Amino acid sequence: MSQSTTLASRAELFIEVTEFYARQMPLLEELEFDEFAATFTDDCVFGYDNAWQIDGREALQGGLRTNMARYGTSRVRHWFENRRIEPLEDGVIRVTATCLVSVTTEDGDVTFEPTCRVTDELIHTEQGLRTRSRKLRHDLPDVGRYFAKLAARYS
Amino acid sequence: MSQSTTLASRAELFIEVTEFYARQMPLLEELEFDEFAATFTDDCVFGYDNAWQIDGREALQGGLRTNMARYGTSRVRHWFENRRIEPLEDGVIRVTATCLVSVTTEDGDVTFEPTCRVTDELIHTEQGLRTRSRKLRHDLPDVGRYFAKLAARYS
Amino acid sequence: MSQSTTLASRAELFIEVTEFYARQMPLLEELEFDEFAATFTDDCVFGYDNAWQIDGREALQGGLRTNMARYGTSRVRHWFENRRIEPLEDGVIRVTATCLVSVTTEDGDVTFEPTCRVTDELIHTEQGLRTRSRKLRHDLPDVGRYFAKLAARYS
């Protein structure tokens, strides 16, 4: 396969993956939990390193509904950078990126959550790309302390 | 048309549209109002949902000049995500995205405006892509309240 | 060369350059100074307009180590927009972009540095793309005042 062909196929995979996230993430942001969960595989895993993990799409729907409820009337948005796309041997596509998360309150004030790294595994299905694994890690030396702070604030 | 060809043509449109915004938005940010307005069609519309709308490129130049004046010596920058590109049947390309807007003061302090959704309609002209419609909607339940706050601050 | 072919080659260059930054910038962010410096040419220049410039890869390693030390246990991340890629006649690829820099403290608080413009010159080498020049300019009318403030804070 020529260098040019390789680049062309990487370009196509880049577009396919970019389009996938551009459709997927607004579903979460706009609280379309069922539609968002439908972009994951039935046996997906979703979790934060050293904190918690959800197994399976059904649990994911409920977990996200609960997790996003703490934002109340604020709107969450995700801003990705450094997306790296690696096709693995078994058809899995590993995608890593950094992510900034903004929260806009109904008064128009904007705050940000700690930046994080995202490691996804995507697979091709008959319905297009689906996420089978999403692992998040905040850019914090002690993630447990952050989750404890969140729990104290929202409990 | 094969799946591969379709992806290739989507890749090319993706690049064309991405390059268009990469040239267009710095023109506004760097207060090149005439050059920015030239990236719109003569009969363009530009507006915020449920707030105000400007009709035509000439009015757009004046409107943006007035609107950007409130930033004074601060520099505004736009950060897009989730860009979705949809070719419509009549040659129009609909582009939707989310946008974060930063404001850097001359002291180096950075604040952010409420995040928003952008819905553009682009068309191909002999001069390349041009915006014929831009509709913005802040991520706020009550946009009128936000514009009233802005008006109070800058009047 | 047809319009289509031109777009295809621009798409491939876009992917190549995008992948380059997606690998390069996390190296700096995760304090892998040697690996980050290795993405520059041996005779590179790196500097801020009207402030300071580092000449050569070896000096770059030391300079960045010193510069990043001021962030302590915080994690710096870079968020690019408006990337424009221009192949020049001598094989140099000029890349300009705007950049937002976030700083996440170990407590999870997020602040931002003044936004800036980045102008890079990349060249193809046997090891792939390398940066031979990076010039930064903050979005500030008086950059000297900003650097003086930084110096006062961290000295």
What is the pLDDT at residue C1?
Answer: 42
Q: B12 and chain A: CB distance < 8 Å anywhere?
A: no
Tell me the per-residue pLDDT of A8-37, one tens digit each, with 9 for 90 and over. 788 889 999 999 999 999 999 999 999 999
What is the pLDDT at residue B129?
Answer: 97
Q: How many CB pairs under 8 A join A and C?
A: 65
C18 min Cα distance to partner chain A (Å)? 8
Quick check: B3 pLDDT over 60?
A: no
ipTM: 0.94
> Considering only CB atoms, which chain C residues are within 8 Å of A82?
21-23, 25-26
d(CA B69, CA A138): 38
What is the pLDDT at residue C102?
Answer: 98
DSSP E strand boundaries for B6-155: 40-48, 52-55, 75-87, 93-104, 110-125, 128-138
Q: Are B106 and C142 in contact (CB under 8 A)?
A: yes
* CA C2 to each of CA A15, B8, C5, C53, C85: distance values in angstroms, whole numbers, following the listed order: 22, 15, 5, 42, 20
> Considering only CB atoms, which chain C residues are within 8 Å of A83?
22
Contact (CB<8Å) C25/A146? no
Side-chain-side CA neighbours of residue A58 (13 Å): 0
Contact (CB<8Å) A81/C25? yes
Cα–Cα–Cα angle for C130, C120, B39, rounded to 5 degrees? 130
Least confident of A116-125, B46-55, C76-85: B46-55
What is the pLDDT at residue A1?
Answer: 41
Give the nearest partner residue to B142 out of A12, A102, A106, using CB atoms. A106
Residue C13 structure tokens: 């260059």
Strands B128-138 and B40-48, how do they pair? parallel
d(CA A56, CA A43): 4
State which residue of chain B sits closest to A26, comparing Cα positions.
B82
State which residue of chain B sits closest to C5, comparing Cα positions.
B12
Could you list the pLDDT tens digit for every one of the 155 residues in chain C? Answer: 445 557 778 888 999 999 999 999 999 999 999 999 999 999 999 999 888 899 999 999 999 999 999 999 999 999 999 999 999 989 999 999 999 999 999 999 999 999 999 999 999 999 999 999 999 999 999 998 998 888 888 77
Cα–Cα–Cα angle for B42, B96, B88, rounded to 5 degrees? 70
Tell me the per-residue pLDDT of A70-116, one tens digit each, with 9 for 90 and over. 999 999 999 999 999 999 989 999 999 999 999 999 999 999 999 99
Contact (CB<8Å) B4/A25? no
Tell me the per-residue pLDDT of B74-84, one tens digit each, with 9 for 90 and over. 999 999 999 99
pLDDT bin (cut points 50, 70, 90) of residue A2 is very low
Average pLDDT score over residue span B118-127: 97
Contact (CB<8Å) A98/C26? yes
Q: C14 and chain B: CB distance < 8 Å anywhere?
A: yes
Least confident of A147-151, B139-143, C130-134: A147-151
DSSP bridge pairs for B116:
B99, B138
- To probe the interface with B, which of A12, A23, A25, A99 has the most B CB atoms within 10 Å? A12
What is the pLDDT at residue A7?
Answer: 72
b vs e for A3-14, b when ≥16 Cβ sit within 10 Å of the residue's Cβ?
eeeebbebbbbb
What is the pLDDT at residue A5?
Answer: 57
Contact (CB<8Å) C84/B16? no
Classified as helix, coil or strand, A109 is coil
What is the pLDDT at residue A6?
Answer: 75
What is the pLDDT at residue C5?
Answer: 57
Q: Give me the residues of C, 22-41, that contact B with CB < 8 A.
A: none
Contact (CB<8Å) C141/B77? no
How much of chain B exceeds pLDDT 90, in percent? 81
* CA B79 to each of CA A35, A80, A101: distance values in angstroms, whole numbers, following the listed order: 26, 10, 13
d(CA C114, CA A38): 39
pLDDT bin (cut points 50, 70, 90) of residue B52 is confident
The alpha carbon torsion through B21, B27, B30, B35 (nearest 10 deg) reads -170
Tell me the per-residue pLDDT of B102-116, one tens digit each, with 9 for 90 and over. 999 999 999 999 999
Average pLDDT score over residue span B7-23: 90
State which residue of chain B sits closest to A21, comparing Cα positions.
B82
Least confident of A136-145, B1-10, B126-135, C75-84: B1-10
Please give the model's pTM, rounded to 2 decimal places.
0.95
What is the pLDDT at residue B9?
Answer: 82
Q: Which chains touch B (3 or more CB pairs under 8 A)?
A: A, C
d(CA C155, CA B103): 28
Contact (CB<8Å) A140/C22? no
d(CA A148, CA A143): 9
The alpha carbon torsion through C32, C34, C35, C41 (nearest 10 deg) reads 140
C125 min Cα distance to partner chain B (Å)? 24
Strands C128-138 and C40-48, how do they pair? parallel
What is the pLDDT at residue B2?
Answer: 47
d(CA A4, CA C97): 26
Contact (CB<8Å) C139/B104? yes
Q: Are B117 and B136 in contact (CB under 8 A)?
A: yes
CA C99, A24, B50, B93 dihedral sign is positive
Measured in whole angstroms, the distance separating CA A137 from the mean position of its chain's CA atoms is 11
What type of residue is A134?
R
> Considering only CB atoms, which chain C residues are within 8 Å of A14?
15, 18
d(CA C25, CA C122): 14
d(CA A12, CA A5): 11
State which residue of chain B sits closest to C79, comparing Cα positions.
B79
> Considering only CB atoms, which chain A residues are within 8 Å of C16?
7
